[in-house]
């Protein structure tokens, strides 16, 4: 079943890519294709998709257990700001061996702590995850505003070390000329690493299979000896961790962060997970599906830009995609239940 869903996503991606390729040739009017070029495919699609996909992998782990985390956009922001606050105090010429480890300890570390807070509240208070993460979404964003007083980091007179930004996250690969042009692959590489680890966790580990067991039937999982609260705490921690990694990636790529960073990303991330095949009722979802879902969302956003449409259409399309994906999921469950009922007769 997951493989069929992923195959369907590949078909959708192929159709979207074909349409954008054809329009790209038309829009170029005899010049280079505006869609099929490295700057667009890597710089505009893959790089921005990487942020969505990394958070969607963590979100998928939560959704599989029957939960949801709508605080990821705020965790993304507070992680980027916390990392920027520390990194701006390093020397601008700090070497890679110092700057990169600091960044990937501080940013993901803050995200992990926020995720543990979400998981702890969900398991200890026994509140619906939507209510808990709605509250923490506001709390984390408020902390970001209060801590920075609305100031963009790094503050004037300070900078994020070049060894983490220009020479690492923004670094060019396949340069046209030494130090000029090319494509930036580090965000894409980081995304693929997270997706591969997510696939391994969900597909090949006992901990990953426990997620599906809880999402399929929480009471049965509890009576089977699975520590349900521990598993839930773990998946929310993973969701926070991936949001922290994405925030660190954003800081390295843009070399700046503010309290509005990532505002509204929770909708896009949930859409990517749901479009990728994760069921909001729990029990289904894959890391590969999250990756493909994020690619579809980014292709739609890129297509709206290429078609010179109002960017607000992307909000309409993303919201519609969530409703359509959930409706298809509910319809498939209905037909599956009917088939099982007929088989019993």
When the pLDDT of each residue in the chain is averaged and rounded to a whole number, the result is 88
Q: What is the pLDDT of residue 171?
A: 73
Confidence of residue 137 (pLDDT cuts 50, 70, 90): very high
Q: What is the pLDDT of residue 49?
A: 93
Q: Domain of 153?
A: 2-344
**pLDDT of 50 higher than 90:** yes
| CA dist list (Å): 166 to 93, 170, 270 | 11, 5, 31
pLDDT in tens, 93-112: 899 999 999 999 999 999 99
Question: What are the beta bridge partners of residue 235?
Answer: none
Distance CA 72, CA 246 (A): 10
- The mean per-residue pLDDT over the stretch 110-131 comes to 94
**pLDDT of 52 higher than 90:** yes
Q: What is the pLDDT of residue 243?
A: 97
Distance CA 248, CA 55 (A): 12
pLDDT in tens, 180-196: 556 678 899 999 999 99
| CA dist list (Å): 292 to 14, 39, 54, 203 | 11, 20, 11, 17
Q: What is the pLDDT of residue 42?
A: 81
Higher-pLDDT residue of 275 and 24 is 275
Distance CA 298, CA 277 (A): 16
- The mean per-residue pLDDT over the stretch 218-244 comes to 95
* Strongest mean pLDDT among 28-32, 223-227, 310-314: 223-227
Higher-pLDDT residue of 21 and 84 is 84
The domain total for the chain is 1
How much of the chain, in percent, has pLDDT values that exceed 90? Answer: 57
**pLDDT of 335 higher than 90:** no
- Would you call 180 helix, strand, or coil by DSSP? strand
Q: What is the pLDDT of residue 307?
A: 79
- The mean per-residue pLDDT over the stretch 16-41 comes to 79
- The mean per-residue pLDDT over the stretch 331-344 comes to 75
Q: What is the pLDDT of residue 3?
A: 66
- The mean per-residue pLDDT over the stretch 312-329 comes to 80
Q: What is the pLDDT of residue 343?
A: 75
Q: What is the pLDDT of residue 220?
A: 93
Question: What are the beta bridge partners of residue 183?
Answer: 173
Q: What is the pLDDT of residue 82?
A: 95
**pTM of the full predicted structure?**
0.92
Whether the CB-CB separation of 266 and 71 falls below 8 Å is answered with yes
* Strongest mean pLDDT among 28-32, 239-243, 307-311: 239-243
Q: Which tokens in the block code for residue 269?
A: 């991330």
Higher-pLDDT residue of 26 and 208 is 208
Which segment of 74-78, 173-177, 325-329 scores lowest on mean pLDDT? 173-177
CATH code of the domain in which 251 resides: 1.10.3470
| Per-residue exposure over 248-286, b if at least 16 CB sit within 10 Å of its own CB, e if not | bbbbbbebbbbbebbeebbebbbbbbbbbbbbbebbbbb
Higher-pLDDT residue of 150 and 78 is 78
Q: What is the pLDDT of residue 37?
A: 82
pLDDT in tens, 165-222: 988 888 766 555 555 556 678 899 999 999 999 999 999 999 999 999 999 999 999 9
- Would you call 21 helix, strand, or coil by DSSP? helix
């Amino acid at each position: 079943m997951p493989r069929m869903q992923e195959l369907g996503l590949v078909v959708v991606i192929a159709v979207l890519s074909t349409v954008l390729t054809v329009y790209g040739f038309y829009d170029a009017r005899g010049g280079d294709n505006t869609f099929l070029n490295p700057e667009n495919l890597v710089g505009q699609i893959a790089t921005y998709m990487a942020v969505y996909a990394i958070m969607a992998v963590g979100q998928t782990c939560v959704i599989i257990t029957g939960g949801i985390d709508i605080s990821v956009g705020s965790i993304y922001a507070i992680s980027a700001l916390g990392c920027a606050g520390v990194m701006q105090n390093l020397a601008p010429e700090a070497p890679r061996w110092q700057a990169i480890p600091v960044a990937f300890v501080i940013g993901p570390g803050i995200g992990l702590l926020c995720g543990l807070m979400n998981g702890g509240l969900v398991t200890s208070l026994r509140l619906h995850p939507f209510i808990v993460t709605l509250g923490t979404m506001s709390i984390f964003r408020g902390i970001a505003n209060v801590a920075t007083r609305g100031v963009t980091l790094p503050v004037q007179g300070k900078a994020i070390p070049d060894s983490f930004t220009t020479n690492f996250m923004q670094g060019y690969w396949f340069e046209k000329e030494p130090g000029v042009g090319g494509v930036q692959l580090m965000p894409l590489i980081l995304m693929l690493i997270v997706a591969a680890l997510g696939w391994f966790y969900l597909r090949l580990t006992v901990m990953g299979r426990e997620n599906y067991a809880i999402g399929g039937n929480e009471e049965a999982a509890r009576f089977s000896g699975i520590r349900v609260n521990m598993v839930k705490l773990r998946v929310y921690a993973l969701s926070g961790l991936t949001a922290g990694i994405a925030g660190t990636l954003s800081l390295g790529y843009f070399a700046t962060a503010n309290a509005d960073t990532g505002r509204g990303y929770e909708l896009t991330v949930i859409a990517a997970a749901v479009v990728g095949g994760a069921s909001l009722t729990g029990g289904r979802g894959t890391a590969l599906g999250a990756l493909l879902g994020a690619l579809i969302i980014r292709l739609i956003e890129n297509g709206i830009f290429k078609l010179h449409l109002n960017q607000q259409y992307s909000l309409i399309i993303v919201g519609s995609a969530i409703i359509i994906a959930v409706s298809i999921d509910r319809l498939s469950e209905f037909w599956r239940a009917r088939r099982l009922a007929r088989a019993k007769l």
